[in-house]
Amino acid sequence: MIKQYLLSPGPTAVPEQVLLRMASPMIHHRTPQFSAIFAETRSMLQEIHKTTSDTLMLACSGSGAMEAAVMNICTPGDTMIYVNGGKFGERWGKIAAKHGIHAVEIKVAWGDAVTIEAVQSALSQNPEAKAVFVQASETSTTTEHPIKEIAALTKDMHCLTVVDAITALGVIDMPMDDWGLDIVISGSQKALMLPPGLATMGISKKAWGIIEVSKGCNTFYFDLLTERKNQQAGKDTTAWTPAASLIIGLNEVLKMMLAEGLDELYARHAILAEGARAGFNALGMKLVSSKPASSATGAFIPESVDGAAFVTYLRDTMGVTFAGGQDDLKGKIIRVAHLGYYDVFDVCITMSAVEIALNRFGYPVQMGVGVGAAQTVLAERFAKVAV
């Protein structure tokens, strides 16, 4: 027996009360019973997004919602701008290529955040661009991009800011209406603490205006106008068969998040990430990102250690699943999560496991140094309660 821990930046652990709720006897999705749950869930999603505009739930992964955004905004031949600072940023370009959309790439070194100047310059050179597509948190490099500032640039242009917030929704505050974010996409298996299979989208009034007049790309399944018609208040259903158990689970998850309080929720993620960074620093493991996100932390594995074997050993021998690196970072980094159903002792487990594994791989670190540094930060989380 080796006890298992899922501490990767998605999929993430599903809380017991959500698992139990999802294990309730299945109900039919074309009933008033399901519609009541759907309506309540939609309303809570709006609360999390801090928007009075629409939110949609789609039976697909986050990538499906990314493509849906591109296809509904852009028509083949249109111009779009995208930030490519990692594996997920790159995906916007791949989607655009499939649809014959002219995609202007803002290339960013892996681990860095895009600069506002670069976005400003791309917008000036491509005034016809329909939207800027960007990650709030680029999970492959654990980097946060300045989406608030990007949205401020497009706010008064005939151009949208579309945010892949798959590892950011529920991690950091992203008030859609205040910041002028136009489309904010998330996926169920991240901070929404669910199994994969459900995507969510917040869509601004400005975005609908552009979508309504856009010919768009050919799509039957991902027609957002059809979805809006079905998912709107009063209809409270979906165009096609919904991922019903995931929506029921999301209903439970959003209640948990609102019960915790959004400010508390964001503060928790921030301190957990800060604790992990302190731990890696104490172990002398350099961070991958110059602008680290709160969703996950990437750190370089010492060069003398076989990084791929290191992550595999942690998973298969020690029972702790993290993520390794992708593409150029393959075998070089470890990525550890902080998002969703994640708390202080998950950071402690992370640092303890990394310390044990480093020693096991012949890279001696003093046992307890990383976890101790993390604990010093994390203790703050309990400090509100008097002893």
The contact set with a copy of itself (CB under 8 A) reads 1-3, 5, 23, 256, 260, 264-265, 268, 309, 313, 316-320, 341-346, 348-349, 352-353, 355-356, 359-362, 366-373, 375-376, 378-379, 382-383, 385, 387
**Own/partner long-range contacts of 113-117 (Cβ < 8 Å, ≥24 apart):** 113/85, 113/143, 113/144, 113/145, 113/146, 113/289, 113/290, 113/291, 114/83, 114/85, 114/145, 114/146, 114/150, 116/146, 116/149, 116/150, 116/153
CA nearest to 290, candidates 144, 117, 106, 169? 144
Query: Is the CB of 9 or the CB of 111 nearer to a copy of itself?
Result: 9
> Least distance (Å) from a copy of itself to the CB of residue 129?
41
Query: Is the CB of 121 or the CB of 366 nearer to a copy of itself?
Result: 366
> Least distance (Å) from a copy of itself to the CB of residue 47?
17
> Least distance (Å) from a copy of itself to the CB of residue 158?
42
Query: Is the CB of 1 or the CB of 213 nearer to a copy of itself?
Result: 1
> Least distance (Å) from a copy of itself to the CB of residue 319?
7
In the structure encoding, which two tokens stand for residue 73, read together?
């905004």
Amino acid at 85: G
Q: Which residues pair with 287 in a beta bridge?
A: 299
Backbone angles phi, psi at 63, to 5 degrees: -60, -35
Query: Is the CB of 101 or the CB of 278 nearer to a copy of itself?
Result: 278
> Least distance (Å) from a copy of itself to the CB of residue 278?
10
Query: Is the CB of 200 or the CB of 350 nearer to a copy of itself?
Result: 350
Number of residues that this document lists for the chain: 387
Neighbours of 362 (CB within 10 A): 9
- How far, CA to CA in Å, does 215 sit from each of 71, 212, 321, 356? 9, 8, 44, 56
- Separation of alpha carbons 159 and 126, rounded Å: 10
- Separation of alpha carbons 340 and 273, rounded Å: 12
Query: Is the CB of 288 or the CB of 365 nearer to a copy of itself?
Result: 365
CA nearest to 62, candidates 132, 139, 149? 139
Query: Is the CB of 123 or the CB of 276 nearer to a copy of itself?
Result: 276
Query: Is the CB of 250 or the CB of 318 nearer to a copy of itself?
Result: 318
> Least distance (Å) from a copy of itself to the CB of residue 337?
14
> Least distance (Å) from a copy of itself to the CB of residue 207?
32
Neighbours of 205 (CB within 10 A): 12
> Whole-angstrom distance between the N-terminal and C-terminal Cα of the chain?
37
> Least distance (Å) from a copy of itself to the CB of residue 378?
7
Angle at CA 379, nearest 5°, toward 294 and 288? 30
